[in-house]
Amino acid sequence: MADLVRGQRARVVGYGDEVATSTARRLFDLGIAPGAEVAMVRRAPLRDPVIFRVADYEIALRNVESRCIHVELVT
Amino acid sequence: MTGHHHGGGSVANAAGLRRFAIVGSPNSGKTTLFNALTGLRAKTGNYPGVTVSRFEGTMRVDHQTVVVEDLPGTYSLDPISPDEQIVVDVLDTAHHAEGAETPDALLVLLDATTLRRSLGLLAQLLQTELPICVVLTFTDDLARRHGRLDTAALSRALGVPVVTVANGQRNALSALRGAMSDVDSWSSPVVPPATGTAEVTAWVQSVLTAADYAVPDVDARTRRVDAVLLHPVLGTAVFALTMFAFFQTIFTVAAPLQGYVEQFFGWLGELVAARVPIGWLSAFLSEAVIGGVGGVLVFLPQIMLLFVLIAFLEGTGYMARAAFLMDRLMAPAGLEGRAFVALLSSVACAIPGIMATRSLPSARDRLATIMGAPLVTCSARLPVYILLIGMLFDSGHRIGPFSAQGLVMFALYLFGALSAMTVAAVFKRLTAGSAPALPFYMEMPPYQIPRLHSVAAAVATAASAFLRKVTSIILATTVVLWVLLNLPARDAAEMTRAGVDTSDDAAVAAFVIDHSYAAAVGRAVQPVFEPLGFDWRINIGILSSLAAREVFVATLGQVAAAQNPDDPRDSLSQMRVESGPDAGRVLFDPPTIAALLVFFIYALQCMSTVAVMRRETGSWRWPVTAFVYMFILAWLMAFLARTVVAAIW
């Protein structure tokens, strides 16, 4: 998810093995669940964090976190 | 930052009254609704005392008083931060933590524009089996952005009543008030939804379909504004400008208002001095009570203005953007953007700042931010800074296009902020390895026009907290000081022996103060502060300011007024060092003022902060650590400042 460029849309397929259970649950509660569609909105001036649009709202994630969320591009 | 209320009042002990709790995710409009329901009758949790700060208010529903509690915003009932834990504890009927009364009914706020996510929290709340009424917010936004929702169908699908409030406007509350008057008739779902991830996803989808929900368009207005405010170049420039304008406004706009307050207390003091015939009583009333309280109340306009600005930035949604822009800069200190918001809240007062650290999921981040927060220039330092800067530069003095006073003030804020960050980074390192890393995420709410009512509520709570502080701790300290400064009483014979002209009131007053208990204390600590250029008069001011920083101004005011009641400010700048190697030097010369300013940047002179640190960290270890490190830092940096200014001035 960290590799998405601005405007790209993708579908969440799963979390990396390094993601703790509590983190996974929180990502789910935030709407970043497998099957959900995410779109990259914009990067902060210093490249990190990044705003994503997910479950009809916008949320900022650091690259460290978004890197652990696996996505596939939606065309 | 929660932005809303902070204060020192005790939560009303409203036993026997029906309790409603407002639950919802951050940015769902909870605080707006809470303020609209309870008006300005809200009570905030006391610093020491109640388990955690709880925001409670009362309202009349159907001729009965009910209690409304604003719970911290949460995305989930699987808590990962302290304030989410509170929500879980309060809602857990089996859990009876001290002071945690389980509400009788829940008002669950769902943001109509982010319904898909919000329903996940509702699914968990339905498990508590408390009566629930869903309150839909931002329905006007939903309509504006071409979304669609059938409220009646939503209610049927959920099995609980659903009411709509358009952004917490007062006249939009009648439906909610109606529902609150008749809790017993609230429907509840036959079977609450299961909480497994797959079941919740399926349940949410079925509810959305049943309610004929159409997702709103992306908020075009927010996109356009973000294109500027989060632009790599423009956005950074706007941020810097906003911060600079923030501080300039506080000083330029508040100045005339402060003049009026000053005039009022001057007039009141003269009135009392003229009308009260008993000499000592008249002096006590005009100097200790009116002078002490008035000297601090002068800063009320500034404090209110500061809270207006913070509430405004919060209300528009810009705070989240500020946190977003600052996140990468906070990272080297080991902190995140929200810590920046907590530190920015500390500009008002370290207490809401420290409380705002509850939004930080990581305990280590919290501790580091708590230890740094008291270094951020808080509003209590303002009176001291303004007094001292006023003696350094007159108001007309300019450096380039800017007022010299404003620039020094800006520099002090910058110093405070950098020091806070550095300290936080150090503490983050020191506590390394004690807790696992938690994910960082931050919602970017759409921009809104702040509600006048919410801004007013934030300002009113801040102002009343300040007034309480002035009428309790500050008044008590000034009274004690006045007594110490005026005792022991001297008789005329003794003064004549010492060569004092007893017909000269100023000389008599100077003699009394010079031989007072306070002077003895001030002289006793002289060895500690002598290298900084402070004399016993400043020392006693510093000792008294350990209770609350503003007392420093009141104390110096008392000392000065005793020597020249007509123009205490002039008397201060004329003061000279009385003894020692520097005797005859103007006491408030630039190196000493610089040392004092820097001392006030670093020293932890605020008992309320110590108390709130004790409560938030759960032990005396951290407030004591903070007090000691800050005092040492204050002394060293003040010494450095004095040396540097003496060399270049």
The rounded Cα B517 to chain-centroid distance in angstroms is 35
Asked if residue B539 lies in contact with residue B529, where contact means CB atoms within 8 angstroms, the answer is yes
Distance CA B216, CA B224 (A): 17
For B47, other C-beta atoms within 10 Å of its C-beta total 24
B114·A49 Cβ contact <8 A: no
Give the pLDDT score at B251: 64
Assigned domain for A66 exists: yes
* pLDDT surpassing 70 at residue B559: yes
| Residue B394, burial from CB neighbour count under 10 angstroms (0-12, 13-18, 19+) | exposed
Residues of B with Cβ-Cβ distance to A57 under 8 angstroms: 113-114, 117, 443-444
Distance CA B239, CA B321 (A): 9
**Total structural domains within chain A:** 1
- A58 inside 8 A of chain B by CB: yes
- A48 inside 8 A of chain B by CB: yes
In chain B, residues 156-195 whose CB comes closer than 8 Å to chain A: none
* pLDDT surpassing 90 at residue B300: no
Say which residues have a Cβ less than 8 Å from residue A24's Cβ, sequence separation at least 6. Answer: A15
Instruction: Lay out the sheet containing B43-44: strands in order across.
Output: B43-44, B55-61, B64-70, B19-24, B105-111, B132-137, B162-164
Distance CA B101, CA B469 (A): 28
A31·B441 Cβ contact <8 A: no
Of B121, B231, B439, Cβ closest to residue A23: B439
The chain A residue lying nearest B329, using CA atoms, is: A46
- B80 inside 8 A of chain A by CB: yes
Give the pLDDT score at B45: 45
Task: Using pLDDT thresholds of 50, 70 and 90, give the confidence band for residue B505.
Answer: low
* pLDDT surpassing 60 at residue B352: yes
Asked if residue A5 lies in contact with residue B61, where contact means CB atoms within 8 angstroms, the answer is no
| Residue B618, burial from CB neighbour count under 10 angstroms (0-12, 13-18, 19+) | exposed
Among B149-163, B182-196, B222-236, B287-301, the range scoring the smallest mean pLDDT is B287-301
B442·A49 Cβ contact <8 A: yes
List of domains in chain B = 19-217 (3.40.50.300), 234-430 (no CATH), 469-648 (no CATH)
User: What is the percent of chain B with per-residue pLDDT over 90, rounded to a whole number?
Assistant: 13
Of A20, A29, A59, Cβ closest to residue B443: A59
Q: What are the tokens at B406? A: 């404003």
Task: Using pLDDT thresholds of 50, 70 and 90, give the confidence band for residue B596.
Answer: very high
Asked if residue B557 lies in contact with residue B504, where contact means CB atoms within 8 angstroms, the answer is no
Q: What are the tokens at B648? A: 């270049």
Give me the CATH number covering residue A65. Answer: 2.30.30.90
User: Could you list the residue range(s) of the whole structural domain that residue A55 is in?
Assistant: 9-73
Assigned domain for A2 exists: no
Q: Please state the φ and ψ torsions of residue B539, each to the nearest 5 degrees.
A: -55, -45
* pLDDT surpassing 60 at residue B97: no
Amino acid occupying residue B98: E
Per-residue model confidence as pLDDT tens digits over B119-170: 989 999 998 888 999 999 888 888 888 889 998 999 999 999 999 887 545 5
Distance CA B552, CA B290 (A): 15
Give the pLDDT score at A9: 93
Of B230, B436, B439, Cβ closest to residue A26: B439
B197·A51 Cβ contact <8 A: no
| Alpha-carbon radius of gyration of chain A | 11
The chain A residue lying nearest B112, using CA atoms, is: A56
Residues of B with Cβ-Cβ distance to A59 under 8 angstroms: 441-444
* pLDDT surpassing 50 at residue B1: no
User: For the whole prediction, is pTM greater than 0.80?
Assistant: no
Of B216, B236, B327, Cβ closest to residue A56: B216
Task: Using pLDDT thresholds of 50, 70 and 90, give the confidence band for residue B590.
Answer: confident
User: At which residue do the structure tokens 């808590």 appear?
Assistant: B79
Assigned domain for A29 exists: yes
Task: Using pLDDT thresholds of 50, 70 and 90, give the confidence band for residue B232.
Answer: confident
- A2 inside 8 A of chain B by CB: no
Rounded average pLDDT over B345-358:
75
Distance CA B494, CA B117 (A): 80
B197·A53 Cβ contact <8 A: no
B327·A60 Cβ contact <8 A: yes
Say which residues have a Cβ less than 8 Å from residue B430's Cβ, sequence separation at least 6. Answer: none
Among B145-154, B225-234, B474-483, the range scoring the smallest mean pLDDT is B474-483
Greater confidence (B78 vs B597) lies with: B597
Give the pLDDT score at B2: 37
Asked if residue B337 lies in contact with residue B442, where contact means CB atoms within 8 angstroms, the answer is yes
- B116 inside 8 A of chain A by CB: yes
The chain A residue lying nearest B239, using CA atoms, is: A45
Say which residues have a Cβ less than 8 Å from residue B230's Cβ, sequence separation at least 6. Answer: A42, A44, A45, A51, B321, B324, B325
DSSP string computed for B118-171: HHHHHHHHHTT---EEEEEE-HHHHHHTT-B--HHHHHHHHTS-EEE-STT-GG
Scanning B21-150, the segments in alpha helix (DSSP H) are 30-38, 82-91, 115-126, 139-144
CA end-to-end span of chain B: 41
Nearest to B444 by CA among A37, A1, A44: A44
Distance CA B245, CA B105 (A): 44
In chain B, residues 226-245 whose CB comes closer than 8 Å to chain A: 226, 230-233, 235-236
B441·A44 Cβ contact <8 A: no
The ipTM is 0.92
Distance CA B577, CA B592 (A): 11
Amino acid occupying residue B570: D
* pLDDT surpassing 70 at residue B100: no
Nearest to B249 by CA among B410, B462, B443, B126: B410
Nearest to B28 by CA among B176, B150, B137: B137
Distance CA B324, CA B240 (A): 14
- A21 inside 8 A of chain B by CB: no
Assigned domain for A3 exists: no
* pLDDT surpassing 70 at residue B374: yes
- SS3 letters across B544-609: HCCCECCHHHHHHHHHHHHHCCCCHHHHHHHCECCCCCCCCCECCCHHHHHHHHHHHHHCCCEHHH
Of A20, A26, A49, Cβ closest to residue B76: A26
The CB-based long-range contact list for B539-542 (8 Å cut-off, 24+ gap) reads B540/B481, B540/B484, B540/B485, B542/B599, B542/B603, B542/B605
Greater confidence (B510 vs B96) lies with: B510
Assigned domain for A1 exists: no
Q: What is the mean pLDDT of chain B?
A: 80
Assigned domain for A4 exists: no
Question: Which of B204, B440, B448 to mutate against chain A (most A CBs within 10 Å)?
Answer: B440
Residues of B with Cβ-Cβ distance to A38 under 8 angstroms: none
Give the pLDDT score at B10: 36
Assigned domain for A65 exists: yes
Give the pLDDT score at B46: 32
CA dihedral B500, B504, B509, B511 (to 10 degrees): -10
- In B542-564, which positions are buried (b, 16+ CB within 10 angstroms) versus exposed (e)? bbbbbbbbbbbbbbbbbbbbbbb
- B75 inside 8 A of chain A by CB: yes
Q: Please state the φ and ψ torsions of residue A53, each to the nearest 5 degrees.
A: -105, 125
- DSSP-assigned beta bridge partners for residue B135: B109, B163
Q: How far is B130 from chain A (nearest CA, A)?
A: 21
Residues of B with Cβ-Cβ distance to A18 under 8 angstroms: none
DSSP string computed for A39-70: EEEEE-TTS-SEEEEETTEEEEE-HHHHTTEE
B440·A62 Cβ contact <8 A: yes
Distance CA B30, CA B109 (A): 7
Residues of B with Cβ-Cβ distance to A66 under 8 angstroms: none
Beta strands in B382-450 (DSSP E): 398-399, 402-403, 441-443
Task: Using pLDDT thresholds of 50, 70 and 90, give the confidence band for residue B442.
Answer: confident
- B436 inside 8 A of chain A by CB: yes
* pLDDT surpassing 80 at residue B539: yes
Distance CA B406, CA B404 (A): 5
Say which residues have a Cβ less than 8 Å from residue B322's Cβ, sequence separation at least 6. Answer: B239, B242, B313, B337, B340, B341, B344
**Which parts of chain A have pLDDT scores under 70?**
none
Per-residue model confidence as pLDDT tens digits over B172-217: 788 888 888 888 888 888 777 777 888 888 898 999 999 888 888 8
Q: What are the tokens at B533? A: 């250029």
Give the pLDDT score at B53: 55
Assigned domain for A60 exists: yes
B551-563 vs B536-544: helix axis angle to the nearest 10? 140
Of B218, B235, B443, Cβ closest to residue A45: B235
Rounded average pLDDT over B448-452:
82
Length of chain B: 649
Residues of A with Cβ-Cβ distance to B117 under 8 angstroms: 29-31, 55-57
Per-residue model confidence as pLDDT tens digits over B599-640: 999 998 877 788 778 777 777 888 899 999 999 999 999 999
Of A46, A56, A65, Cβ closest to residue B328: A46
